[in-house]
């Protein structure tokens, strides 16, 4: 059996995350370049990954004696599954409705459903009965926001949003939808109204100057945060 990498050992959803968020995500991968044998490898490994995650949470929960700790662990697993379910469904909706890619997407969706059912069957008393609202589709939440002036360009804001989305600081069905939700409430010194596409378009292929400015800005923020101690 193949040994699991350090990343996979530390984050039980590492492989699923890579497959769903990157490899099979039409916004991040040219799916036409995926070979059938690659899809077959994904389908063959999927049941093992699902079972491994199920056993992993059982092991973690068994070693905990505090109910609050079990709630935290179960909640983390539940949230991770729901995020992957949203992305997997979004992926599937953008696949051709026949062929090995669509079948692979269906199997992944079914695998995540099995994982979700297992979590809620065993840990239902530790999980919230009402799932968090999807803020990007909640008009009440959006109406509370006003336009914010940011001292960065649209391209630079896109880099920050892309990073926040990739590390799941911001959770949404897709990065495009996140940009559509956020852009109407942002302005820059150069543009009062910025389009969601201007925020999204260059975030994955940023220019070095924009990267440098974003990094410098984040470094200043880190230093400021350290001063809050």
Is residue 130 a contact partner of residue 178, using CB atoms and an 8 Å limit?
A: no
Break the chain into its structural domains and give their ranges.
Answer: 6-126, 135-226
Q: Is the pTM of this model over 0.85?
A: no
pLDDT of residue 100 exceeding 90? yes
In SS3 terms, the chain reads as CCCCCHHHHHCCCHHHHHHHHHHCCCCCCCHHHCCHHHHHHHHHHHHHHHHHHHHHHHHHHHCCCCHHHHHHHHHHHHHHHHHHHHHHHHHHHCCCCCCHHHHHHHHHHHHHHHHHHHHHHHHHHHCCCCCCCCHHHCHHHHHCCCCEECCCCHHHHHHHHHHHHHCCCCCCCCHHHHHHHHHHHEECCCCCCCCHHHHHHCCCCCCHHHHHHHHHHHHHHHHHHHCCC
Q: If you count them, how many residues does the chain have?
A: 229
Residue-averaged pLDDT of the chain = 83
Q: Does 108 have pLDDT greater than 90?
A: yes
Residue 127 is encoded by which pair of tokens? 């999980």
75, 126 Cβ separation under 8 angstroms: yes
**At how many degrees (to 10) do helices 154-166 and 175-182 cross?**
130
pLDDT value of position 142: 43
Burial 122-142 (b: 16+ CB within 10 A, else e): ebeebbeeeeeeeebeeeeee
Distances (CA, A) of 20 to 128, 155, 158: 25, 26, 22
Q: Model confidence over 35-74: pLDDT tens digits?
A: 999 999 999 999 999 999 999 998 888 877 677 778 878 8
Residue 10 — very low, low, confident or very high, per pLDDT cuts 50/70/90?
low
């Amino acid at each position: 059996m193949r040994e699991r990498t350090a990343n996979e050992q530390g984050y039980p959803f590492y492989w699923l995350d890579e497959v769903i968020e990157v490899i099979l995500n039409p916004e991040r991968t040219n799916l036409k370049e995926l070979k059938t044998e690659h899809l077959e490898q994904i389908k063959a490994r999927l049941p093992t990954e699902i079972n491994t995650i199920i056993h992993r949470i059982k092991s973690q929960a068994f070693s905990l004696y505090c109910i609050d700790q079990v709630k935290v662990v179960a909640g983390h697993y539940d949230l991770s599954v729901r995020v992957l379910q949203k992305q997997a469904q979004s992926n599937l909706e953008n696949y051709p409705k026949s062929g090995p890619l669509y079948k692979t997407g269906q199997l992944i969706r079914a695998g995540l459903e099995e994982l979700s059912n297992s979590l809620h069957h065993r840990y239902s008393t530790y999980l919230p009965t009402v799932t968090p609202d999807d803020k990007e589709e909640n008009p009440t939440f959006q109406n509370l926001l006003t336009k914010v002036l940011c001292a960065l360009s649209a391209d630079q804001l896109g880099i920050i949003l892309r990073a926040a989305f990739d590390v799941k600081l911001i959770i949404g069905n897709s990065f495009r939808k996140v940009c559509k939700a956020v852009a109407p409430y942002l302005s820059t010194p150069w543009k009062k109204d910025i389009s969601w596409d201007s925020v999204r378009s260059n975030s994955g292929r940023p220019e070095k100057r924009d990267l440098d400015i974003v990094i410098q800005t984040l470094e200043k923020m880190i230093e400021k945060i350290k001063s809050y101690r």
